[in-house]
Structure 1
Amino acid sequence: MPPLPEILLVEDRKDDRDLFASAVAASGLRVKVETATEATEVVVRLNRIGRYADAALPALIVLDLRLPGLNGQALLQVIRTAYRSRKVPVVILTGSQSPEDRATCEQLGISDYMVKPQSFSELQEFVASLRRFLPGEEPTPRTSRLAKLPEEMR
């Protein structure tokens, strides 16, 4: 059996990390979730330094914008300019509703942007939608955002 695809969750708040892990379990998504609490840890990991020397690239990075030290936008820029990680899908999951934040992230090449949901069921739906970024996974009508649109708009 091949190894599970890895999602790297970059989130400094423990409660949010725990909620994300619970949503992954509840969604039935078969992935390994690794976490990082600050940008420098992500840079070290992606560059395979020290204890991460044998680390594979994650299949997906889920990134909060509000991080201690180097913020999420600066980290996104590092991810996008580094040869090794530039093609890894990055999904923003943040409390920021700022149109400027979203526009900047889109210019830096994000795959999706989601304001942190207010309910667990919304978070679970968001997590299930991440299937489309994982190898060997196809979005289902339940998880595809397009499936929610009327047929003539798809």
Structure 2
Amino acid sequence: MNTRIEIMPIEILLIEDNPGDVELTKIALEDSKISVNLSVVEDGVEAIAFLRKEDKYAHVPHPDIVLLDLNLPKKDGREVLAEIKADETLKRIPVVVLTTSQAEEDVLKVYSLAANCYITKPVDFDQFVKIVQSIENFWFTIVKLPSE
């Protein structure tokens, strides 16, 4: 039996254009011991609009953490990360880069842009689920996050 801790739900913004990875993330979070609200946007332009609560996103929750893919349409993840970390109202939100890229230049670039961590997505379903659950465990059980 899985008992959820019912305090305030954790707000996660997943910025991901691959429907398969979105679904895998949802599956991985289903067994969570904490209450999680997952919001999903599919491109970098929508991500910034969501984070700045613009237009149709005026009433969305403030995310406690962002899971960011690098290879996005319209505005790539590096640009999104740079905008988040340059914005006084957004820069405290932890950004976990979750991407297929293993390129050293990507790792160096995102850390220079102040990403909180860089994780390469595994191709194996079980490993992907373990990674997402590890992110959840670390960021919401161990780490103390700032309130909005």
TM-score by length of 1: 0.82
Identity across matched positions, percent? 29
* 2:8 alignment partner AA: P
* 1:72 alignment partner AA: G
Is 2:108 aligned against 1:111?
Answer: no
Helix, strand or coil at the partner of 2:67: strand
Helix, strand or coil at the partner of 1:61: strand
Q: Unmatched 5+ residue regions in structure 1? A: 140-154
Report which of the two has the higher share of strand: 2
Aligned to 2:66: 61
Aligned to 2:53: 48
2:28 to 9, 15, 23: 23
What CA deviation, in whole Å up to 9, does each residue of 1:15-52 have, x standing for no partner? 11111111111454531111000011111111111222
Helix, strand or coil at the partner of 1:78: helix
Q: Unmatched 5+ residue regions in structure 2? A: 1-5, 144-148
Helix, strand or coil at the partner of 2:142: coil
For residues 120 and 49 of structure 1, the distance between their equivalents in structure 2, rounded to whole angstroms, comes to 35
What CA deviation, in whole Å up to 9, does each residue of 1:72-130 have, x standing for no partner? 00110011111111010000111111000010001111111111112222112211222
Is 2:38 aligned against 1:33?
Answer: yes
Contact 1:63–1:92 at 8 Å: present in 2 too? yes
Is 2:139 aligned against 1:138?
Answer: no
* 1:133 alignment partner AA: W
How far the C-alpha of 1:138 sits from its partner, in A, is 2.6
Moved over 6 A (4+): none
Is 2:75 aligned against 1:74?
Answer: no
122 and 30 in structure 1: CA distance in 2 versus 1, 3 angstrom threshold: farther
